[in-house]
Chain A
Amino acid sequence: MIAVVSVRTEKLTKRYGDIYAVRDVDLEVRDGEIFAVLGPSGCGKTTLLRLIAGLEEPSSGRIYFDGRDVTDLPTQKRNTAIVPQTWALWPHMTIFDNVAYGLKLRKLPRAEIGARVRRMLELVGLSGLERRRPYELSGGQQQRVALARALVVEPSLLLLDEPLANLDAKLRLELRGEVRRIAKELSITTIYVTHDQEEAFAVADRVAVMNAGSVRQVGSPEEIYRRPADVFVASFIGRARAVHGVVVDRSGAMVTVDVGFPINAEAVQDLAVGERAVVVVRQGSIRMVQDGGIACRVVDARFLGGTYHVDLDCGGVRLPAESDSAPRPGELVRVAIKGALAYRP
């Protein structure tokens, strides 16, 4: 049984000169949980992972494993196992030697090393490839070797940095399920860094959304999707468009924002009448209707499998919509917007 840990960061900051890669990050990852860190490229998520792994030293802040301060502990002593984006398999070693390396460092008996390596390769579906070299394997197989190498040492914490980024779309779908299955089977605390929202939601129990070095929201995939905490999270999650306007009416949690035409939206932050606001409209929340709604002109329509993705011009405001039929460019249509969210700019 692997002794898993909970992870807590406290005001964790990493600065390069005047640039903050990670800024005042407070996070709590529960033991046995798969926790995704989601954000665009350059938002600091890999740096955060490296700080937790002990591969970078924080400029300030602390890191705790099970309440124990590990901030000054070298990477060798944290009992974490990282899988970098490039997988970093050692090309001069066989698959067996790659996976066995961590066990050899722990000076385990040869027989036990052999047994554990074989068991782990079986778990990731690579039995029989022990004598091959990394470059003789496919991308998906290499990714599994990297995972096996990390898991075989029974780390307290598994750290995955965009582990599927170098794979094609089909394999990514297949392997993200595998990663979750294995992590859950071993009940291992896992931090999973990705820029892909769908991947984060498919793999993780909870998700932290990061931007510009800061954590913007932490929650379950459903919470993040249904109730994004701010404009950034709302725009980043799902295909969405942010439209600027002025609040013209308010009724309880609902506001009406004039963006050139009125949109009813749920005010996630407190908004007063007359205040400037940003309305975030998701693609799936705009539907074409026969009567009522807003009059828009079709700019373009593309078939994306199942539905049509339609670009609309609604009184000068461009909005994305979905439709079951294919409208012609230039055609006038009417649309209804449901589930829009309003934020302070």
Chain B
Amino acid sequence: MRQRFVSAALAAGLAFLLAFLVSPIAYIFYYIYTQLAAVAPLLASPYYFDVSPAAFQNAFQIERAGSVYRLVLNGPDMGVIANSLWVGLTVALADTLLGLAIAFALAKYEFRGRTALGIVAAAPLIVVPFVTAYVIRIFLNPLWGTLNWAISSLGIPLRVEIRGLAAVALAQMFLYLPIAYLNIYTAVSRVDPTLEEVANNLGASGSRAARDIVLRLATPGIAAAFTLVFIMSIDDIAAPIIFQDYPEARKLMSYQIYQYFISSISGQISPATALLALILLAVSLAAFLAVRRYVGLSQYAMLVRQLRPRSYRPGPGGYALIALSFLVVIAAAAPLAGALVLVFADRWASSPLPSGLSPSLGLDRLETVLTNPYYVRGIENTVVYSLTATAAVVVMGILISVAAARFRGRAAGVLDALATAPIAIPGLVVAYSYFLALLPLSGWLAGCCPDIAHIINPLDNPATAIVIGYSVRKLPFAVRSMYAGLQQLHISTEEVSLNLGASYGRTLASVVLPLIRNNVISGALIAFVYMTSEVSLGVTLGSLKGLGYDHAMPITAVMSVDIQGSVNGLFYAAALGLILALIQIAAILLVTRVLKTRYGFIV
């Protein structure tokens, strides 16, 4: 009886993922195959790939302007494909190293302010799309930015100009640091402290034991952090949009795909975009598979029961690490603080700090975004899309996690891998694959079933593609949470119910689900929150229906349009960002304090 139910759940899970993940993406491959003649020359074009000396010519410059040195950082312009790779790798490397420093300081040293450091370090997990990137742009502004204001206030004869791709990379470093830090911290703190103690007892110093034992055993977590940040960086469009005034910032795969959507309301399909989507996918999947193979080894070192990591009183090196951590963490949290302050500011475009702060200004802006039909439509869209997709995620999450946890056979592993894969698949690729597959499909159905054709047509009704895309992309968070609950539940709990005569469906409803209730709720909540702040699908598919009052854009897409539109748009985007931030804070508190489960990107 159980086997039949589990088999059915497995079939449903596989069907869902094959239909909405594998097939659309496979269609990109097919499309590229049919367009080989058109796409092949693109790879040879220096616009897409250029490693000639000219690419590095303007990477950085130092020059003397009167009594002040001027440092200009552009980063090399190696063409769209190579730019995405170098920016992604640089961001991932920098965030992994900084995340490692912060995680080690927090996990290994006893010092005053440790709790505060942990909270501030995790704060930028609250995503306020576009606005935080905009604040970073203000920080970096060559003329009146906060960075140069701080440098000149210290009396240093230097002006730093971070532009183009370098600015995109720096913004992404700030935005994704907490993801790196949280993953690494989790990996470090899960290493059994006894392993380190034995090394100490055999004569290893604190730092030697940390290097030989803790760092080595936390490597899979560190590798996972690197990969996650890399994938998020190459998929990011917020930073390239914010810095799009620099032409090089537009020469990224993510921006090119986004730009294609903005100009594709006519329904044209571009082979070049398909090729970029395919490369984006291949690079992300390669990174994901490399780390997935590696993570399997780590399980032996991990604790069943959570012990406090072994910690030390810091020496001079430790204090230097702690000081660096505070500096980095405050810098990384500053854009979020800036984004929230922006709601209440009168001006912040040509000054190092915002001016004319007033609570009434903020309340007026909040009132506007909560009453103006254009914004209200965006909020409604987000709520409708996210709630519908969350319902789908809960149903599919339960079926998939039951099948993955209880089915005996290779198919369970395949299902688990497929359900986790969306973490590694850039949202832009999902968006593009839906567009590419649904557009001809709706045309094909128009003759026989015009209603269905209208529902799935991404130009007339992007909502369908967005809801399916949300549910596929955020499925891993729900599945991981529910699967963890099922693994902690001994199988005999189910067997006793079956033995007493209950069907498996009834056992699931009356025994299993009540026992993993917190995991289900927190999985749904995390998925919902990530949907509300989702960018890739929202700004691409969401923009296909245009900007009228009946637009299909979710909040994030409205923010993107506003921030690129007018000066005042920035403040309304910030107000919408504040609403998103409040939703996320409420969810984090619910998940961690009430449900006592984990919140985060943890692999």
Contact = CB atoms under 8 A, between A and B. Distances in A.
Interface of A: 53-55, 74-76, 80-82, 84, 86, 88, 90-92, 101-102, 105-106, 134-135, 149-150, 153
Interface in B179-209: 192, 194-195, 197-205, 208
Interface in B478-501: none
Contact of B202 (A74, A86, A134, A149): A149
Given A55-B197, A88-B197, A101-B199, 19 more contacts: A53-B201, A54-B201, A75-B201, A76-B201, A76-B205, A81-B201, A82-B201, A84-B194, A84-B198, A86-B194, A88-B195, A90-B195, A90-B213, A91-B301, A101-B202, A101-B204, A102-B203, A106-B203, A153-B202
B108 to A, nearest CB: 16
B194 A75 contact: no
Contacts of A135: 300
Interface string B290-306: 00000001001100000
B203 A88 contact: no
Contact of A76 (B203, B212, B213): B203
Contacts of A92: 216-217, 297, 301
A152 B78 CA distance: 55
Q: In the complex, which of the residues B195, B199, B203, B297 has the most CB atoms of chain A within 10 Å of its own CB atom? A: B203
29 contacts: A55-B200, A75-B200, A75-B201, A76-B203, A80-B201, A81-B201, A81-B202, A82-B197, A82-B198, A82-B201, A84-B198, A86-B192, A88-B194, A88-B197, A88-B198, A90-B199, A90-B217, A91-B217, A91-B300, A92-B217, A92-B297, A92-B301, A101-B212, A105-B208, A106-B203, A134-B300, A149-B202, A150-B202, A153-B202
Nearest to B217: A92
Contacts of B300: 91, 134-135
Contacts of A101: 199, 202, 204, 212
Interface size bracket, B side: 20 to 34
A91 B205 CA distance: 20
B210 to A, nearest CB: 13
The 5 tightest CB contacts between A and B, nearest first, are A102-B202, A91-B300, A88-B194, A105-B203, A88-B198
Interface string B403-414: 000000000000
Contacts of A76: 200-201, 203-205
A135 B205 CA distance: 26
A36 B202 CA distance: 22
A134 B297 CA distance: 12
Interface in B197-255: 197-205, 208, 212-213, 216-217
A92 B216 CA distance: 7
Contacts of B203: 76, 102, 105-106, 153
Nearest to B202: A102
Mostly, the A contact residues are mixed
A244 B9 CA distance: 63
A44 B571 CA distance: 61
A98 to B, nearest CB: 10
A274 B198 CA distance: 55
Interface string B74-92: 0000000000000000000
Contacts of B197: 55, 75, 82, 84, 88
Contacts of B301: 91-92
Interface in B425-454: none
Contacts of B204: 76, 101, 105
A334 to B, nearest CB: 47
Contact of B192 (A54, A80, A88): A88
Contacts of A86: 192, 194
A55 B201 contact: yes
Contacts of B195: 88, 90
A74 B310 CA distance: 14
A81 B205 CA distance: 15
A149 B213 CA distance: 15
Interface string B488-527: 0000000000000000000000000000000000000000
A86 B198 CA distance: 11
Nearest to B200: A75
Contacts of B216: 92
Nearest to A146: B198
Contacts of B202: 81, 101-102, 105, 149-150, 153
A269 to B, nearest CB: 41
Q: In the complex, which of the residues B201, B212, B213, B217 has the most CB atoms of chain A within 10 Å of its own CB atom? A: B201
Nearest to B219: A92
A83 to B, nearest CB: 8
B462 to A, nearest CB: 48
Contacts of B192: 86, 88
Contacts of A149: 198, 202
Contacts of B212: 101
A284 B294 CA distance: 57
B439 to A, nearest CB: 50
Contacts of A134: 300
Nearest to A135: B300
Q: In the complex, which of the residues A53, A54, A105, A106 has the most CB atoms of chain B within 10 Å of its own CB atom? A: A105
A86 B305 CA distance: 12
A53 B217 CA distance: 24
Q: In the complex, which of the residues A53, A101, A153 has the most CB atoms of chain B within 10 Å of its own CB atom? A: A101
A80 B198 CA distance: 10
A160 B128 CA distance: 54
Contacts of A81: 201-202
A14 B201 CA distance: 19
B339 to A, nearest CB: 42
A55 B198 CA distance: 9
Contacts of A74: 200
Nearest to B302: A91
A101 B209 CA distance: 11
Nearest to B203: A105
A92 B196 CA distance: 13
A55 B208 CA distance: 16
A101 B205 CA distance: 13
A260 B195 CA distance: 55
A311 B201 CA distance: 48
A88 B202 CA distance: 12
A103 to B, nearest CB: 9
B197 to A, nearest CB: 5
A289 B217 CA distance: 64
Contacts of A88: 192, 194-195, 197-198
A236 to B, nearest CB: 27
A67 B219 CA distance: 44
Contacts of A153: 202-203
A79 to B, nearest CB: 8
B590 to A, nearest CB: 31
Nearest to B195: A88
Contacts of A91: 217, 300-301
Nearest to A103: B202
Nearest to A153: B202
Q: In the complex, which of the residues B198, B205, B301 has the most CB atoms of chain A within 10 Å of its own CB atom? A: B198
A91 B217 CA distance: 8
Contacts of B208: 105
Contacts of A106: 203
Nearest to A91: B300
Contacts of B200: 55, 74-76
A86 B202 CA distance: 16
Nearest to A56: B197
A221 to B, nearest CB: 28
Contacts of A53: 201
Contacts of A150: 202
A325 to B, nearest CB: 40
